[in-house]
Structure 1
Amino acid sequence: MTKIITASTDFAESRIVEIARYYGIDWIKRSSDNLSDALEKIPVMTKTDLARHAKHDRISRLQKAALFSETSGSTGEPLETPRGLIELDWNTKNLMKAFDRNVQPGRDRVAIIHPSIMSPFVEAACLALKELGIGYLRIFPIPNICSYDRIADILYRYEITTVMTTPTLLRKLLFEVDSGTKHSINSLPIQKALLTGEVVDDFEVHNIERMKPNLKVFPFVYGSSEIATVMIGGKDLFYEPLTNDFLFEIVESKETVKNQETSVGKLLVTWLRPSIFPILRYDTGDLIKFHHGKNASESRIQILGRDRSNSEKDKIKTIIEQTILDFEFPVFHFDAKINNELVKLNIVCRENDVQMLKAKLPLVIEGLPVEMKINDKLHPFMNFSITPKISRYK
């Protein structure tokens, strides 16, 4: 079963027909199909499908583009995602809504901590801050050019109140500041962290907030380079879908436990606004939990991430996370590889806390022996410049 969320089904129906024709699907006619029936006739698209379609009419799109951008390429070849003026404008306005909930002109200054190479999200975020009249800067560690000492100094001198970044990059910054700069974590003026790009759950929030007790952590937005910003985060860790601009489909699996309050399933997204390269039934790869409201505007969404349900491994994950949260000291990073024979843990903490950590971590979890590496110098988290996202579980 598929749950459809959008502000106006009439508007969505007409746009679906137009977008389908762009992709050569011309047998769908609004007069004979309701929205659900029309969608069922359209194939679900993946990143591979988008890459294949991107080769068609490419010159025309490049001529119309106002911003040249592409995906990071972390999961394969980069996908070109040029933005025209129209979609760049409505995506910027959506990011303005998100920033407006968290920062104010004159009071806040924002640091965007991200490599930002060819990122349509970062470009639109900067445009949004400019339109709101909020001062901002972009910064990222670059060997021999921008050290962590300099980053900490810039945050301090410009009295940056807010950082927008990923959970991984924020924890890396706090680890490096704590490990070897002239500033301490508590001396940094940042008060708010707007996090995106990875799942922001209770564990992530509580773990980061104990690194800097006066820091408030919020999920900022949900989206990607392909689909743009499609949801705005809230302080309760739920997201508000932007139903005027997008159509959301939640494809429930046969194993889904159904009730009247929630739906759990794979998330598909369709653009309803004009663009030079429209998105149609795009498979985000993420599972979400949809909390039903009286109407689309009252709906709330919880991002569950890409992990597929596995009850035995979920028990292990819960034990690991609860154990780490019970420590009296922060853990700046951990990831785990779980198979049927072994749990392999990589953990990064302060050197002074290593012995205490070893004493508190269980040697066996759910019958599986635990193999630990602590502050492994070869781990990607220990690199000078790291990728914005490092998966918590493998």
Structure 2
Amino acid sequence: MIPKIEKASLDEIKAFQEQKLLEVLTYVSEKSSFYKNLFAKEGIDIKNIKTLEDLNQIPVTTKEDLQKFNDDFLCVPVSEIIDFATTSGTLGEPVTFGLTDNDLDRLAYNEAISFDCAGIKEGDVVQLMTTIDRRFMAGLAYFLGLRKMKVGVIRVGAGIPELQWDSIRKYKPTYLITVPSFLLKLIEYAEAHTIDFNNSGIKGAICIGESLRNQDFTLNTLSKKITEKWNIKLFSTYASTEMSTAFTECEHGNGGHHHPELIIVEVLDEQNQPVKNGELGELTFTTLGIEAMPLIRFKTGDIVKFHDQPCTCGRTTLRVGPVIGRKQQMIKYKGTTLYPPAMNDVLNGFENIETHIIEISTNDLGTDEILIKLAVKEQSEVFLHEIKDHFRAKLRVTPKIEYCSRESLNTLIFNPMSRKPIHFFDLR
């Protein structure tokens, strides 16, 4: 069931969003201490903001603003907060988000239309392979969305391949929600224990936290490694706690679909100006329909490209392409601009590599230095040369590479204080 607005003409979508923009600006100017102060300080009269283009009159909101003035963004009494969630803190101090009862309903609606986008329907059973605790919004959002769709949920949580396979065999799920690299661990376990995973009944996996595609929407190395062995459909999804909204692929796999009833999106350059159509920039959004902590022009730090051709699925809304990388994680190395996902993709192409981390530091000349630490099945100088040649061919540069034990790297990657595996360490 595609919402009517997502099949409307671009002019109708724009008019609809401009009406919603007026509502959210009126709301925050009355309820949010942060935006009240900002509008007063900048001399902003919201009556002058009538179109999406007029949003340019409002300064952007940053992660630093959220960290520094967290409580000032709250628009309702604390007594109305039903759920307290925090951001993952990947790029700084975690921020707390409160959600009201209506916000939880909106979150459920968002996930329901997102999962529907990926082909999940009433009657399916979904195995949830991500945490629902530790103030993590995503796990709760998935559960609420699936419940709204009348879809069965198996809350297994993260890790433990044996438990995942026991659950798959017992409850016969049709879809999985997981970090894609964990699917490789499931395949490895299945092969070692003669589990016929291609006859397990799994049709697809909604993948979070890691990229599945190249910029032209072809499968990247990680996705190819999964699908070459396991005949399942992979769906990419992009979301964040701050936006309480997801961009999920449909079966055509051409980017995450925008839900215009939930969020206004922009792609901005370094000067906070909209980029030209089809150019890369920083994803910036304004939330719609949120009661507790709406955000206006919030810069995500994620570098993306918009695609606005209508999709074969019938949706006319724009689509968000694969994230190139985090703006703060951009690396300038020997005259070349790099982001961690591109390096991950190179490393994922080697069967001999068990795990890795990427460390960025500043050298004596004040420029970026890259050190890649690898745990491999078999160490050799020949293999090191092979990796370096591959980096040179794919990314035009060769970072420093050293061998480490799998145990020493896993201690860093699986930090108990983090909800996601950490493969990138910025020491600059």
Alignment TM class, shorter chain as reference: 0.7 to 0.9
Structure 2 residue aligned with 1:300, among 296, 319, 322? 319
C-alpha contact (below 8 Å) 2:371/2:402 kept by paired residues: yes
Q: Secondary structure at the match of 1:266?
A: strand
Percent identity between the two aligned chains: 19
C-alpha contact (below 8 Å) 1:69/1:119 kept by paired residues: yes
Aligned match of 1:345: 372
String of CA shifts for 1:235-260, please: whole Å, max 9, x gaps. 4241111112211121134799976x
C-alpha contact (below 8 Å) 1:230/1:246 kept by paired residues: no
Structure 2: which 5+ runs fail to align?
1-12, 214-218, 362-366
Structure 1: which 5+ runs fail to align?
none
Q: Distance in 2 between matches of 1:342 and 1:79?
A: 30
Q: Distance in 1 between matches of 2:288 and 2:339?
A: 40
Q: Secondary structure at the match of 2:257?
A: strand
C-alpha contact (below 8 Å) 2:204/2:232 kept by paired residues: yes
Aligned match of 1:312: 336
Q: Distance in 2 between matches of 1:65 and 1:292?
A: 37
String of CA shifts for 1:75-122, please: whole Å, max 9, x gaps. 44332211112221122112111112322333x321111123212222
Q: Distance in 2 between matches of 1:332 and 1:243?
A: 41
Matched, 1:362 2:390: no
String of CA shifts for 1:344-374, please: whole Å, max 9, x gaps. 334466x4x7779938833453564652436
Matched, 1:231 2:224: no
Q: Distance in 1 between matches of 2:404 and 2:225?
A: 17
C-alpha contact (below 8 Å) 1:44/1:282 kept by paired residues: yes
Q: Secondary structure at the match of 1:163?
A: strand
Structure 2 residue aligned with 1:388, among 420, 423, 426? 420
Identify the range of structure 1 (35-44 vs 124-133) with the bigger mean alpha-carbon deviation.
Answer: 35-44
Q: Distance in 1 between matches of 2:368 and 2:379?
A: 25
Change (3 A) 1:57 1:345: closer
Aligned match of 1:45: 61
Q: Secondary structure at the match of 2:387?
A: coil
Aligned match of 2:205: 193
Aligned match of 1:165: 178
Matched, 1:215 2:236: no
Cα deviation, residue 282, structure 1: 1.1
C-alpha contact (below 8 Å) 1:152/1:181 kept by paired residues: no
String of CA shifts for 1:281-308, please: whole Å, max 9, x gaps. 1111101101234799432221323154
Letter in 2 for 1:162: Y
Aligned match of 1:153: 166
Cα deviation, residue 128, structure 1: 1.4
Q: Secondary structure at the match of 1:114?
A: coil
Identify the range of structure 1 (335-344 vs 42-51) with the bigger mean alpha-carbon deviation.
Answer: 335-344
String of CA shifts for 1:188-238, please: whole Å, max 9, x gaps. 55331111233332323223323x33132110x322112112422234241
Aligned match of 1:273: 289
Q: Distance in 2 between matches of 1:332 and 1:44?
A: 41
Cα deviation, residue 342, structure 1: 6.8
Aligned match of 1:243: 260
C-alpha contact (below 8 Å) 2:262/2:287 kept by paired residues: yes
Q: Distance in 2 between matches of 1:40 and 1:313?
A: 28
Change (3 A) 1:179 1:193: same
Aligned match of 2:78: 62
Letter in 1 for 2:262: D
Aligned match of 1:87: 103
Letter in 1 for 2:202: I
C-alpha contact (below 8 Å) 2:247/2:259 kept by paired residues: yes
Q: Distance in 1 between matches of 2:202 and 2:137?
A: 25
C-alpha contact (below 8 Å) 1:111/1:164 kept by paired residues: yes
The TM-score normalised by the length of structure 1 is: 0.78
Point out which structure has higher relative CO (alpha carbons under 8 A, 6+ apart). 1
Structure 1 residue aligned with 2:44, among 22, 25, 28? 28
Q: Distance in 1 between matches of 2:263 and 2:338?
A: 32
Cα deviation, residue 69, structure 1: 2.0
C-alpha contact (below 8 Å) 2:414/2:421 kept by paired residues: no
Cα deviation, residue 379, structure 1: 1.0
Q: Secondary structure at the match of 1:263?
A: coil
The root-mean-square deviation of aligned C-alpha atoms, in Å, is 4.0
Letter in 2 for 1:304: I
Q: Distance in 2 between matches of 1:269 and 1:367?
A: 34
Letter in 2 for 1:197: G
Q: Distance in 1 between matches of 2:387 and 2:356?
A: 15
